[in-house]
């Protein structure tokens, strides 16, 4: 990839909302969409991570999901309560939601339409993996390959998050920049599930960048409701014909490792890569393995389709 191939962030109208996106790589390279997780801005796909994928021959597109970062912030919905979660878990009473994962899947397809991309390789992390699964299920003709990272099928039998990770998810939003920065560091320590001093050294700069792009705590709540209201995709995933790679960490505290195993078991022919010592994050020390696997999988799918 040459330096001029990086395009700065832009905003485009898609599926009735504004979506902020950024492109790394040459226009004629294999299009690869990176879909981020719950409450996470597109910059959680690290710049260098995107550059390394672009250097492998991909046109890498990262974007802010609805209700986060520089994309449209919606309205409505109340903060999720522990009682609603208990009702969902034990009484199967669905959670009310302003929108569902299918709407976020339509955002993804709308962005592809706006960029003139007929089909692309999809790489989704956490909730992004759920969105990528939904695009593959609802718009299969738009997908060249699917990579689902630290995600799950929505199957209620998958074990829940650890108590610590669940408490972090339900904590009230920070009230100041200082509180946000402190919380950011604490959150990622929990999510990484181990000692990563090289990551912790970068957390302050990352937190400041996220804060500068703008927070939307109510939007994170709506995204969480979208996940919970969308139910299980497990049965539908049996019909997926797309080349699929599932990547999951062995110590993921938020989406139990069984979530990755369940995803791979539900999709015919899916490949499963369990990364020893990886939690619910993409630390730099695992990039060679993760990027290498995405590269091999997506280019392999492209060669098969040619």
Question: The domain that contains 136 carries what CATH number?
Answer: 3.40.50.1820
Per-residue confidence (pLDDT) for residue 78, from 0 to 100: 81
Owning domain of residue 274: 7-162+217-305
Per-residue confidence (pLDDT) for residue 1, from 0 to 100: 57
182 located within any domain: no
257 located within any domain: yes
259 located within any domain: yes
75 located within any domain: yes
Global confidence as pTM: 0.96
Per-residue confidence (pLDDT) for residue 54, from 0 to 100: 97
| DSSP-assigned letter for residue 89 | I
**Cβ neighbours, 10 Å, residue 95:** 18
Per-residue confidence (pLDDT) for residue 7, from 0 to 100: 92
Enclosing H/E stretch for 9: strand 7-14
C-alpha span between 195 and 119 (Å, rounded)? 39
Per-residue confidence (pLDDT) for residue 113, from 0 to 100: 98
Enumerate residue ranges in the chain where pLDDT < 70.
Answer: 1-4, 88, 91
**Cβ neighbours, 10 Å, residue 13:** 12
286 located within any domain: yes
Per-residue confidence (pLDDT) for residue 259, from 0 to 100: 98
C-alpha span between 153 and 264 (Å, rounded)? 9
169 located within any domain: no
252 located within any domain: yes
C-alpha span between 132 and 127 (Å, rounded)? 9
> How many domains is the chain partitioned into structurally?
1
Burial of 232 (0-12, 13-18, 19+ CB in 10 A): middle
187 located within any domain: no
- Count how many residues are written for the chain: 306
């Amino acid at each position: 990839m040459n330096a001029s191939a990086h395009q700065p962030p832009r905003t485009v109208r898609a599926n009735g909302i504004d979506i902020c996106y950024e492109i790394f790589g040459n226009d004629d390279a294999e299009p690869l969409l990176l879909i981020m997780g719950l409450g996470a801005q597109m910059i959680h796909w690290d710049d260098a991570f995107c550059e390394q994928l672009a250097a492998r021959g991909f046109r890498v597109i990262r974007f802010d999901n609805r209700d986060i970062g520089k994309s449209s912030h919606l309205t409505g919905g109340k903060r999720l309560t522990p009682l609603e979660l208990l009702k969902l878990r034990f009484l199967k009473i669905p959670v009310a939601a302003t929108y569902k994962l299918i709407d976020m899947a339509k955002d993804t397809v709308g962005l592809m339409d706006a960029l003139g991309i007929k089909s692309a390789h999809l790489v989704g992390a956490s909730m992004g993996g759920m969105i990528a699964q939904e695009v593959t299920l609802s718009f299969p003709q738009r997908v060249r390959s699917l990579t689902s990272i630290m995600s799950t099928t929505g199957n209620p039998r998958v074990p829940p998050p650890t108590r610590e990770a669940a408490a972090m998810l339900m904590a009230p939003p920070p009230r100041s920049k200082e509180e946000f920065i402190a919380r950011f560091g604490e959150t990622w320590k929990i999510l990484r599930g181990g000692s990563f001093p090289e990551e912790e050294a970068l957390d302050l700069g990352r937190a400041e960048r996220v804060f500068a792009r703008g927070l939307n705590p109510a939007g994170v709540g709506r995204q969480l409701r979208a996940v919970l209201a969308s139910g299980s995709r497990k049965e539908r995933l049996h019909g997926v014909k797309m080349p699929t790679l599932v990547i999951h960490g062995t110590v993921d505290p938020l989406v139990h490792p069984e979530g990755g195993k369940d995803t791979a078991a539900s999709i015919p022919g899916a490949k499963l890569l369990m990364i020893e010592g990886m939690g619910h994050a993409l630390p730099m020390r695992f990039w060679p393995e993760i990027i290498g696997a995405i590269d091999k999988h997506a280019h392999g799918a492209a060669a098969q389709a040619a």
